Amino acid sequence: MLPDGFIIPNSSIAPSCTNEEKGKLYFNSTTDLMMLCNGTTWQTASNQWFRSFDQPNTLYYNGKVGINNPTPTYELDVNGVIKLGGNLLIDTKIGIGNFTQSQDIGLEVTDGDIAISSSADSKVWKFNYSDADDALLIQEDGISRMVFSNGGYVGIGSAIPTSALSVEGSGRFYGELTVNGSSGIVRSSSATQLKCHITQLNLGTSFSVAKDGCSTSDADLTAAAFTGAPTVQVGNKISGTGDF
């Protein structure tokens, strides 16, 4: 006992709390809280909450609010699940996982996936980064439909791309396909599918065509893929002598 008050025991470890010790007090030197024995467990004897002078309807605990967390480290620190019945408005960013607050990103997910599911179609589309493949995968029910590898390669299908664009399967273009800056262009002005088959013809050591004449040679070019007889065009003599 002191002239102006009294000192209760200080301890970092909670002493015993039995029914016979109901009303027992001690000061927790770790949490700096006055603890009261209710006959079974220790409870805080002092009110940890206070009202703001300019916001009387708001309660604070050391400037922070903790739910299922006695020592909150954020303005709102919830140890559990949050359910909202209205809109959630975020002014800065949303971070999931061990994110970095200083990064200028609206939504950041660390070591996790982003999924969009449809209960009507029973489908789950997922954005997933694969550490093993060093690539971002867009998956439908666990099957990769598009792959973006580190470095900029894009793959359509489940294969990891090895070129700027890798396609696993067939492709269809409803416009022009331009290759190497207009060096090669494939066009189709009708619904008829265009096909191109290339074969190599061995003409031997010489192949002569007499003036105003005709010469033939056989080549193995299957016509199974054509709807009609294929047309063969030959041009540009590059070497040799004689009449062409």
Q: One digit per residue, pLDDT tens: the chain, 244 residues?
A: 888 988 889 999 999 999 999 999 999 998 888 888 999 998 887 666 655 556 555 555 666 777 777 677 788 888 888 888 898 888 888 888 876 666 677 888 888 899 999 999 999 999 999 999 999 999 999 999 999 999 999 999 877 898 899 988 888 877 777 777 666 666 655 545 555 556 666 777 777 777 777 777 776 666 556 666 666 665 556 666 655 4
Residue in the block written with tokens 């080549």:
219
Q: Output the six-digit token pair for 238.
A: 């590059």
In 10 A of CB 5, how many CB atoms? 6
For the chain, report the end-to-end CA distance as a whole number of angstroms: 126
| Nearest of 58, 63, 14, 65 to residue 40 by alpha carbon | 14
Residue 233: per-residue pLDDT = 61
Q: Could you tell me where the DSSP H helices lie in 70-136?
A: none
The answer for residues whose C-beta is within 8 angstroms of residue 40's C-beta and 6 or more apart is 17, 19
Phi, psi (deg, nearest 5) at residue 20: -70, -20
- At a CB cut-off of 8 Å and minimum separation 6, what does 105 contact? 93
Residue 244: what pLDDT?
47
What pLDDT, on a 0 to 100 scale, did the predictor assign at position 103? Answer: 64
Q: Do residues 225 and 193 lie in contact, with contact meaning Cβ atoms separated by under 8 Å?
A: no
SS3 category, 20? helix
Distance between CA atoms of residues 141 and 127, nearest Å = 11
Residue 67's Cα: distance from chain center in Å? 30
CB of 48 closer than 8 Å to CB of 72: no
DSSP state of 19: G
